[in-house]
Amino acid sequence: MNKILTFATCALLAVGINSCCNKNSCEKNQSGTSCLEVIKNRTSIRQYTDQPVEKEKIDQLLRAGLAAPSAMNKQPWKIVALTNKEKIKELADSTGKPPIAKSTLTIIVCGDMTKTSGNADDLWWSEDCGAVTENVLLAATAQGLGAVWCGTWPDPNRYNKARQVLGLPENLVPYSMIAIGYPGENPTPKDKFTEDNIIRIE
Ligand SMILES: Cc1cc2nc3c(=O)[nH]c(=O)nc-3n(C[C@H](O)[C@H](O)[C@H](O)COP(=O)(O)O)c2cc1C
């Protein structure tokens, strides 16, 4: 009886440890791609096919965005998921960003000024929104989508126009627009590694 119990406990532990490792490690996701590979494979994609992005994939993009770190965990953001073709076109025209016009999904990462300290020089929210933006770009790559960061912040002309087209309240500042879709081009990721940009203090 003891032997059976010991075997059962070991088997359960093995399953537990295995699933725990899978959950916590950064090795392989379901599609067999490691996060380091995703980071290296990410590159700006500006041409897309007409194939719409599935709701499940959009949800994963939004979850990845909302998982970003933020100063004092204020999460000073709102994310807009835009799939309406006319609005996408209007947004592209008013902000002068051609990749947006070609996208089937545009995600707009907005800073929520009601969640910042309220001091005009408190720009931590923009750091936070940058982290959200990069998370969305990586999640797009991981799901076989193409995406490009189109900057709005800190250009008031661009973020005011985006806010107006989207009908957002004054407290939301469109920080970035991410054009997303199934890739219509296949550029090689740039190799940006250079020791010139590194200072090693050992
Ligand atoms: C803050 C920011 C703003 C950007 N704005 C634009 C943009 O308006 N239009 C565009 O086509 N690409 C834009 N990009 C993408 C960059 O051009 C691109 O990341 C850069 O050329 C490096 O290429 P890679 O993304 O393929 O590594 C932006 C990137 C960042 C980080």
Check if the beta carbon of residue 180 is closer than 8 Å to that of residue 134: no
Q: Is 150 within a domain? A: yes
Q: Is residue 101 part of a domain?
A: yes
Does some domain include residue 196?
no
Question: How many A from CA of 176 to the centre of ligand 1?
Answer: 11
Q: How far is the CA of 141 from the centre of ligand 1 (A)?
A: 15
Confidence of residue 1 (pLDDT cuts 50, 70, 90): very low
- pLDDT category at 121 given cuts 50, 70, 90 is confident
- Residue 7, in any domain of the structure: no
Predicted confidence at residue 3, as pLDDT, reads 40
Query: Which of 5-14, 114-123, 124-133, 192-201 has the weakest average pLDDT?
Result: 5-14
The closest-lying atom of ligand 1 relative to the alpha carbon of residue 99 is: 11
- Give a yes or no: residue 142 inside a domain: yes
pLDDT over 80 (residue 18): no
Q: Which of 4-13, 33-42, 99-108 is the most confident on average?
A: 99-108
Ligand 1 atom at minimum distance from 46 CA:
11
- The total number of structural domains in the chain stands at 1
Domain containing residue 75: CATH number: 3.40.109.10
Range of the domain at 88: 31-181
Left if phi > 0, otherwise alpha if psi is -120 to 50, otherwise beta: which for 96? left
Write down the H helix ranges in 143-182. 156-166
Q: What are phi and psi of 122, to 5 degrees?
A: -85, 100
Dist. CA 190–CA 101, nearest whole Å? 24
Residue 163 neighbours by CB distance under 10 Å: 19
Is residue 14 in a domain? no
Q: Is 2's pLDDT higher than 80?
A: no
pTM here is 0.87
47 Cβ inside 6 Å of ligand 1: no
Residue 147 lies in a domain: yes
Indicate which atom in ligand 1 lies nearest the CA of residue 137: 25
Per the domain annotation, does 25 fall within a domain?
A: no
